[in-house]
Amino acid sequence: MHSQVNPPCLKTGFAQALTDWYKADHRELPWRDTTDPYAIWLSEIMLQQTQVKTVLDYYRRFLAQYPTIQALAQAPPDDVMKLWEGLGYYARCRNLQKAAQQIMEKHNGIFPNTLEEVEALPGIGRSTAGAILTFAYGQKHPLLDGNVKRVISRIFDIDQDVQQTAVINQMWQASETLLSESEEPHLYNQAIMELGATVCLPQNPRCLLCPVKSFCQACDVGTQHDRPVKAAKAKTPHHTIAVGVIWKDNQVFIQQRPEGGLLGGLWEFPGGKQEAGETLTDTVLREIEEELGINVQVGELITTVKHAYTHFKITLHAYHCQYISGDLQPKAAQAWRWVTPDELPQYAFPKANKTVLEKMLTEWQTNQPQSV
Ligand code: SF4
């Protein structure tokens, strides 16, 4: 095993072997057919933590609706969020629009062409900046996204935790060393990402098909399944949540989560975490009283939804509620509305709330809304 990254030990020819493999065959993807930095930037952001097959439809719809940086910068934020609904990691969407507005203000609407300027935009880190500048402007910058990290950890058989800053710095050096040989950096960078996505897979690397197998130190000694090394994570916490769909005069109450927080800018039904000793109904009553200052009667369960976020999991129970009394004074929302059920699909909801909404709409469309 190698105790440190040692790029100079690598045989020459890695970049050429990888690029030749990519040239011979690769997936046709719409963002590979363009040098428009806006379209490339959009794809890079959408692809963070998200699979290609999920991104494709969102990418096409988004570009059709907002074909330019200017169009995105000027769009109503709620409309942009609605287009992103279901793609997750919503801070990406908010940062994308903020960055578009900054490009309009500081760069006359033209995507900047230096690493420093691109990294200064909201939501763009070093690897994403390098990818955009390489693919749009033909510059030569190393990458270190999740796929590239995995490939490098195996090529150099890195036996240390790849989440440590010192190891990340060594991996950046390794990435730069591998790229330095390349005469076609835009193809090489596509190739190393493609290798990670299609051959050097997380669980089952397809080493027999790998174009750089002869360079791979982990494959050489049989440690590829143990790379990359990641320190064991603490058990993911789980929260039980109860929310109320509050009815009043054939309308339901929705509120918008504050910008900057988890799921910021998305709409939701009010509610919160169950506390020790509470029934779910108690939780709904308490949360609605605390958050909105009103009293409701809790009715039937609409549905129960399980959902996993990055750092925790939830089980969400949604109940019909009937408004009873009190002056509505939402405390934790940046906006709120009473809307008829057929207006609900206009708003962007997080995944778990969306499931509640769909169940409720199906009920509502087949029956009269339930009164409590
Ligand atoms: S030989 Fe296997 S582990 Fe090494 S880079 Fe190729 S697919 Fe990954």
Strand partners, 256: 267, 335
Q: Is 219 in the pocket of ligand 1 (CB under 6 A)?
A: yes
Alpha-carbon distance of 342 to 335, in angstroms, equals: 19
Extract long-range pairs of 2-8: CB within 8 Å, 24+ residues apart. 2/156, 2/157, 2/158, 2/159, 2/217, 3/159, 3/160, 4/160, 4/170, 5/152, 5/156, 5/158, 5/167, 5/170, 5/171, 5/173, 5/174, 6/156, 7/156, 7/173, 7/174, 7/177, 7/178, 8/177
Q: Which atom of ligand 1 is nearest to the CA of 150?
A: 8
Burial grade of 26 (CB within 10 A; 0-12, 13-18, 19 or more)? middle
Ligand 1 close to Cβ of residue 158 (< 6 A): no
How far apart are alpha carbons 126 and 144 in whole angstroms? Answer: 8
What pLDDT is stored for residue 142 in this prediction? 97
In this prediction, residue 203 carries a pLDDT of: 94
Which numbered atom of ligand 1 lies nearest the CA of 213?
Answer: 1
Q: How far is the CA of 56 from the centre of ligand 1 (A)?
A: 27
Q: Which residue has the tokens 């279901």?
A: 86
CB-based contacts of 51, cutoff 8 Å, min separation 6: none
Which active-site residues does the annotation give? 44
- In the prediction, which pLDDT does 10 show? 67
Residue 100: C-alpha distances to residues 40, 74, 95, 350 (Å): 13, 9, 8, 23
Alpha carbon of 18 to ligand 1 centroid (Å): 12
Residue pointed to by tokens 């089980």? 315
Query: Quick one: pLDDT band at residue 1, thresholds 50, 70, 90?
Result: very low
Q: Which residue's CA is the closest to the ligand 1 atom numbered 4?
A: 216
pLDDT at 9: 58
Please state the pTM of the whole predicted model.
0.83
For residue 139, what pLDDT band results from cuts at 50, 70 and 90? very high
Fold of 238-366: Nucleoside Triphosphate Pyrophosphohydrolase (3.90.79)
Ligand 1, closest atom to CA 206?
A: 7
For the chain, the domains span 10-226, 238-366
Q: Find out whether the beta carbon of 52 lies less than 6 Å from any atom of ligand 1.
A: no
**Residues 344-365 pLDDT 10s:** 999 999 999 999 999 999 988 8
Pocket flag, ligand 1, residue 120 (CB < 6 Å): no
Q: For residue range 157-185, list pLDDT tens digits in order.
A: 999 999 999 999 999 999 999 999 999 99
| Residue from 311, 312, 313, 300 nearest 356 by CA | 300
Check if the beta carbon of residue 37 is closer than 8 Å to that of residue 136: yes
pLDDT single digits (tens) 269-300: 999 999 999 999 999 999 999 999 999 999 99
pLDDT value at 222 more than 80? yes
Q: How many helices (H) and strands (E) are present in the chain, helices listed first?
A: 14, 7
| pLDDT at residue number 3 | 47
- The burial class, CB within 10 Å (0-12 / 13-18 / 19+), for 329 is exposed
Average pLDDT over residues 30-45: 97
Cα 246 from Cα 236, distance rounded (Å): 31
Q: Which fold has domain 10-226?
A: Endonuclease III; domain 1 (1.10.340)
**C-alpha to C-alpha distance for 358 and 2, rounded to whole angstroms:** 53
- What 3-state class would DSSP assign to 110? coil
